[in-house]
Chains A and B, each alone.
Chain A
Amino acid sequence: MSEKKIFSLSSLTRSIEKVINTQCSKVVWIKAEIVKLNHYPKSGHCYPTLVEKKNGKVIAELRGNIWASHFETINTKFKSVLKEELKNDMTVVIQGSVTYHPVHGIALNIIDIDPEFTLGELAREKAETIDKLRAENIFAENKKTSLPVLPKTIAVISVQTSKGYQDFLNVIEKNPWGYQFHLLLFPAILQGERSIKMIIDQLENIKSYNKVFDAVAIIRGGGGEIGLSSFDNYLLARKIATFPLPVLTGIGHATNETVSELVSYQSFITPTKIAEFLLQKYHDFAMPLKDAEQKIKNHTTWLFKDHKNNIKETARLFSSFTQRALDHSKADLKQYVFQLENLSRRNFSEERSELLQTKKAIISLAQKPIKEERKNLNFAEEKIRMLSPENILKRGFSITRQNGQIIRKAEELQPEILLETQLYSGEIHSRIETINKEPDND
């Protein structure tokens, strides 16, 4: 076995350092993806993880260094060109050289990053997102949802302390017409990579109460124009596009609209504009209402006036009709009185003449039966007087009795018994000579 030659680690690393520094120290442009930025705000240095992917698989990986001074410059450039800070998951074109450090190992020392390339890359990604949503036929889906005439209950995705949210609240709450809204804040960060998941999560949250809410408002503002590329994210844009409630966005920027805004129900330049839009909806509802109110008032007034006039007119007519009716009745009454007088006068005179006649009749007739009666009585008296036995005896007739018994027929006679004959004046007692029983006459 031959003698082993053993080197110290530092002598090895020195050799590696020597090779790399002589062979690979050239400053070159490299395209890579920043998977993780690893920025340390204290020191200001950055140690990004750079990869290259093929079909989603990492095929190369290298650590990078961006020293604080460089990072400052690069980030400023990005912000002005891309409206984005340097961040994770960004494909960038880097200027730098490979360095080796005995302790930290091999790394790419980054001195510059070209923002123009990334800008193009972002635009491409944005276009891709749009194409994908269109291909899935969901790009205009949220615009098809219906916003109620009065959107009263709004789920707000925003940051409590952000200026945009405060602006929104100010406009809503201080509206001079006193329109009332029910706002519920679902807090989420609204810029940078982390915003995507948070917004999606909150949308999911709201979805479970979608019967309660009329609309969702995503409100951002005051954060400048940096970090908006997350709103071009496919997943977020898709979530918004397919959301069952109308999504209103007030992201607050002056550049091109993000995909999230394009697919939303309606997008507004600022949160204030969303607030104004909502108030306008109330207005649109309230104005015709107010008009109608006025119309009702006017019409009612008119109706009352009309009816009053009618009543007045009726009253006037009524009074004139009444007068006329009264006059007619009075005339009729007068006529009746006149007729009554005439008729009764006639009746009275008829009755009077009848009475007079009756009176005469009574006077003449009343005495007649008495006279007649008297005549009859006188007659009867005369007869009686004539027929009285005294008168008969006076005329020469006499009454013959035997033993007090009146004798009418000869056969009643007893020959031996004395006859007593009564005359008008005096009596005779005699004896029977002969009795002739034959009747002379009857």
Chain B
Amino acid sequence: MTEDIDYTSANSELQEIVSEMENSEISIDELDIKIKRASELLKICKDKLFKTEKSVQEVLEEIKNYSIGEAK
């Protein structure tokens, strides 16, 4: 299940679920659903983070290779 949600929204929803769970505001019945949702969100965030990191690494690699030397 791939959802079109950005990292920030996903992360804040995740944090909400965590805080709800911490405060025991979720019934056992709901818990199952929430956990599943949290797991989903976690996956999305991880994926996005991974992709971003990869992309950033690439760009940084590129930047490292920029020679800021004297122009010919």
A, B from the same assembly: yes
Q: Which residues of B contact A120 (CB under 8 A)?
A: none
A359 near B63 with CB under 8 A, answer yes
Binds B, one of A16-24, A152-160, A367-375: A367-375
A399 near B28 with CB under 8 A, answer yes
A370 near B68 with CB under 8 A, answer no
A352 near B42 with CB under 8 A, answer no
B32 near A389 with CB under 8 A, answer yes
Q: Which bucket holds chain A's interface residue count?
A: 20 to 34
Smallest beta-carbon distance A304→chain B, Å: 64
Residue of chain A at shortest CB distance from B52: A370
Smallest beta-carbon distance A113→chain B, Å: 143
A-B contact count (CB 8 A): 67
Q: Which of A348, A355, A376, A384 contacts B35 (CB 8 A)?
A: A384
Q: Which bucket holds chain B's interface residue count?
A: 20 to 34
B39 near A384 with CB under 8 A, answer yes
* Given known A-B contacts A363-B63, A387-B21, A399-B28, A380 and B52 have beta carbons under 8 A apart: no
Per-residue B-contact encoding for A320-358, CB less than 8 Å = 1, 0 else: 000000000000000000000000000010001001100
Residue of chain A at shortest CB distance from B70: A348
B63 near A380 with CB under 8 A, answer no
* Given known A-B contacts A348-B70, A362-B63, A366-B56, A384 and B17 have beta carbons under 8 A apart: yes
**Known A352-B68, A352-B69, A367-B60; 10 more pairs at CB < 8 Å:** A348-B71, A362-B63, A367-B53, A367-B56, A370-B52, A377-B14, A380-B15, A387-B22, A389-B31, A406-B28
Interface residues of A (CB under 8 A from B): 348, 352, 355-356, 359, 362-363, 366-367, 370, 373-374, 376-377, 380-381, 383-384, 387-389, 399, 406
Nearest 7 CB-CB pairs, A to B?
A: A387-B21, A370-B53, A384-B38, A352-B68, A355-B68, A366-B56, A383-B18
> What are 9 A-B contacts defined by CB distance under 8 Å?
A348-B71, A352-B68, A359-B68, A373-B49, A377-B11, A384-B17, A384-B21, A387-B22, A388-B31
